[in-house]
Amino acid sequence: MALSCSLRLIRLHACWPVTLKQASLSTAPDEDCRQVAGRNEATRKRWTKEKKPRQDRSLPGLESSWEERLANVATPLWRFPYEEQLKVKSESQKKVLQTLASRLSELGTDKLEITQRPEGLCCPLRSVVPSPVVNGYRNKSTFSVNRGPDGNPKTVGLYVGTGRARNIVCVRANHLENMPEKHKQVAQCYEEFLQQSPLDPCLLFHQGGHWRELTVRTNSSGHTMAIITFHPQDLSQEELCTQKALLKEFFTCGPGVVCNLTSLYFQESTMTRSSHQQSPYQLLYGEPYISEEVLGLKFRISPDAFFQINTAGAEVLYQTVRKLSRADKNTVLLDVCCGTGAIGLSLAHQASKVVGVEVVEQAVEDARWNAAFNGISNCEFHSGKAETVLPQFLMSREDDRLLVAVVNPSRAGLRKRASFFFLRPDNISLVLKEKYTEKKKKI
């Protein structure tokens, strides 16, 4: 994660521990897992060539154990001390800026020669801002269900291997340093439930099966939300109700009660990824939301709403955004891809107005609730795509207050139409982009 500022571009490294990243997973492994596992494996090889890892960091057992292979994929720099991780990422970010400077020069759009810039960078590169928490920091983890190293098709974990090589294996994540113990406990209990269930897991949609991935969300108060995705195939409503009842019983009265869940959700979906609008989240037990406190503000979090994965790191990030934005009472802040509105709300007291844009409607509802609950009245949040909402907002403006945008896109990044909006100097004066990119990929 990084911040970039354009037209006056500023880069700032993430508040997140840069190696402690969980691989993104998909229930249908062929495409997504090939991209994730292959990309992270290539990243690990490149970085380990640049830096010699500590020799005392290895997992018990064989050097090439499945646990160690998963650690290499999900947390590529786990062997390095945190300070070394930050240095590696800083050097990697420097290469991105050097490449950008070279490209701008080739296009003839850079007014300064590369030789006139420090280290050939297209803009200043700021010092790394470290995370205050480096272990067990994830507040959200997604686990897949697939064949494990022993061939068990009901293994709950993360993927190792690639679809192209047809060697994908689902490995339990009990040893990963970035994952809290609560997430590991819920995953272990879900696997126990699957072993008892007469229904098969859904490994590939066309092959049948039902049980799919598990998502666990937690907050700093210890509250836990579990979301289980299920492929209905051709089950009747009565049969679906039976499975939901068994799942609820397991986590509220059976062995899964040790997880002490605050919320248990069930989602029937025939797609790889589904929003609440496409496949509604069904609350089987507990509270509909969990909440988190950041910089003195309380935020409500729905099952599919975006929230920064490292809460303590998010506080450092938002404080840095405050400084870089220089927002004042003559500033309108655009919070693009705003999720639950955390960034915009944390800057609302400085700005004249905050306008948030988010494609996930449930997250927009959370953002509006968060503003009302925290007594913030100078914020408005819109549901829709950035490339649609932003031009409409610009056309409806009736004043000349300064526009500052904070952009926090998903892994896929912004669409070109939305990006062009920020490249026009008559539209906006400053863009803070919260994302570290290398070859357009979030590492």
As annotated, the binding site includes 308, 358, 408
The b/e string for 264-297 (b: 16+ C-beta within 10 A; e otherwise) is bbbbbbeeeebbbeebbbbebbbeebbbbebeeb
Distance CA 276, CA 328 (A): 36
Strands (E), 182-339: 211-218, 224-230, 263-268, 281-286, 290-294, 297-301, 331-336
CA 2 to chain CA centroid, nearest Å: 13
Distance CA 217, CA 223 (A): 8
According to DSSP, the β-strands at 353-358 and 379-383 are: parallel
Q: Are 258 and 224 in contact (CB under 8 A)?
A: no
The maximal CA–CA distance of the chain, rounded, in angstroms, is: 72
SS3 180: coil
Instruction: Give me the half-sphere count of Cα atoms (radius 13 Å) on the Cβ side of residue 63.
Output: 2
Distance CA 98, CA 96 (A): 5
Binding-site members for S-adenosyl-L-methionine are 308, 358, 408
Helix (H) or strand (E) holding 12, with range, is strand 11-13
Tokens of 176: 């990963």
Could you tell me which residues come within 8 angstroms of residue 360 by beta carbon, excluding any fewer than 6 positions away?
A: 275, 276, 304, 305, 306, 339, 383
10 Å CB burial of residue 378 (0-12, 13-18, 19+) is middle
What span, in angstroms and rounded, lies between the C-alpha atoms of 156 and 148? 8
Quote the CA–CA distance of 233 and 206 in Å, as a whole number: 10
